[in-house]
Amino acid sequence: MAHTTPLVTALGGNDTIARKVAMVLSGSLLVAAAAQVSVPMFPVPMTLQTLAIMLIGLTYGARLAGATLVAYLGQGAMGFPVFAGGAFGLAPLMGPTAGFLFGFVAMAFVMGWLVERGLSKGFGLFAAALLATAVLFVPGVLWLFAATPLDLQGAFMAAAAPFLLGEVVKAAVAALIVTGAFAALKSRLG
């Protein structure tokens, strides 16, 4: 597959370290804000984190998207209240949702990788978001299975089933937002 250009690269400008740092910080801040929009369900809350990660994964490219989520985990580990419900520290990184937290890095990277390899327009963006979200649910469910007394079916019912439809809607919304941003950029550049 040919390599294609993520939105942020298409936006142009100097690819400086300062620009990359600003993108990583603003992206991780977006995920932190989205984590606070949550419906407290036990053991896995419903949040907007994946929508924020989709916007990052679909626009940043694989490496910068992955780095943004590594920074997000680092901010939480350092004590900033960036995880769902304002949680912070090392406990969430070992708790029932740790599979999702570490999986966020893989989700962002895989999404950027798919965009760079051609899933960069319209339905392709939607497909990239969905495929990468499917990757996220593997560690999310398996971690819950390993870390709690739930069997595999119980872990799936708690960590995946309630969220699948919502993730499809989030992928559609993210793809529409990024498509709109591309269209706006195209008309601005003439």
Ligand X SMILES: O=C(O)CCCC[C@@H]1SC[C@@H]2NC(=O)N[C@@H]21
Q: Could you list the residues that contact ligand X (CB under 6 A)?
A: 35, 44-47, 49-50, 83-84, 92, 97, 100-101, 163, 166
Contact call for residues 101 and 110 (beta carbons, < 8 A): no
CB of 71 to ligand X, least distance (A): 15
**Pick 94 or 184: Cβ nearer ligand X:** 94
Tell me the H-state helices in 43-151: 49-60, 62-77, 98-116, 122-147
CB of 134 to ligand X, least distance (A): 11
Q: Is 81 exposed, middle or buried (0-12, 13-18, 19+ CB in 10 A)?
A: middle
CB of 152 to ligand X, least distance (A): 17
CB of 117 to ligand X, least distance (A): 24
* Positive/negative CA dihedral, 44, 86, 77, 18: positive
- What does the buried/exposed string (b/e) look like for 28-50 if buried means 16 or more CB atoms within 10 Å of the residue's CB? bbbbbebbeebeeeeebbebbbb
What six digits make up the tokens of 3?
Answer: 């390599």
**Pick 47 or 120: Cβ nearer ligand X:** 47
**Pick 9 or 38: Cβ nearer ligand X:** 38
**Pick 4 or 38: Cβ nearer ligand X:** 38
CB of 1 to ligand X, least distance (A): 27
**Pick 120 or 140: Cβ nearer ligand X:** 140
Preceding peptide of 149 cis, ω within 30°: no
